[in-house]
A and B are shown apart, each in its own frame.
Chain A
Amino acid sequence: DAGVTQSPTHLIKTRGQQVTLRCSPISGHKSVSWYQQVLGQGPQFIFQYYEKEERGRGNFPDRFSARQFPNYSSELNVNALLLGDSALYLCASSSGRIQETQYFGPGTRLLVL
């Protein structure tokens, strides 16, 4: 079975631009979570979606938004990019609640210039 997939793998943007990252969960998983990992730090929780509803939100500004589609795939949108948004963005899927084991995708490396 395929694991969590993310696209694109790498992305370069300039300040002020907008970006959309995509994630497809493991087949059968209904929950998707997004994390930001800045170099040298642990992942920071951004959002969790379960059954197309937001179930959790981390301490990120409103420039960050996400949604989940009927097929449980998800998009993370970041508006008005800042240099500090440069990071590895990880998507994880789980069967349900956020307390369940989360399985991570390979991530999208975003560089903001």
Chain B
Amino acid sequence: AQKVTQAQTEISVVEKEDVTLDCVYETRDTTYYLFWYKQPPSGELVFLIRRNSFDEQNEISGRYSWNFQKSTSSFNFTITASQVVDSAVYFCALISSSASKIIFGSGTRLSIRP
């Protein structure tokens, strides 16, 4: 069975602060893929990153960075120097190589205050 847990329902920080969104996943497969999506108020899910289970290198893209740790089954997302435009709901998702559907977490609503 697959499962994604985003324990942080809502986070609110002041602009320019760093913030980390947690994602813990469960799967019995050794080959799987993890994703992060951003959903602004408009509703469209915006793809941020895809990572396969064999690539544990952390990734940085501008102010965004991702920390993938198989030992703790976590794929956390950090925004550095947050901006008001980062306010959105962020979803972590998982699919195993043998699965036929993607499982999304329940999302974390991030609010960045000016």
Contact = CB atoms under 8 A, between A and B. Distances in A.
A101 B35 CA distance: 8
Interface string B47-64: 100100000000000000
Contacts of A58: 101
Contacts of A105: 44
Interface in B52-84: none
B104 interface: yes
A17 to B, nearest CB: 23
Contacts of A42: 4, 91, 93, 104-107
Interface residues of A, number: 24
Contacts of A99: 33, 95, 97
A25 B91 CA distance: 22
Interface in A14-58: 33, 41-45, 48, 55-58
Nearest to A90: B45
Contacts of A90: 45
Given A42-B91, A43-B104, 11 more contacts: A42-B104, A42-B106, A43-B91, A44-B104, A45-B101, A57-B100, A90-B45, A102-B47, A104-B45, A106-B43, A107-B44
Complex A-B, nearest 4 residue pairs according to Cβ-Cβ distance, in ascending order: A42-B104, A56-B100, A104-B45, A45-B101
Interface of A: 33, 41-45, 48, 55-58, 88, 90, 92, 98-99, 101-107, 109
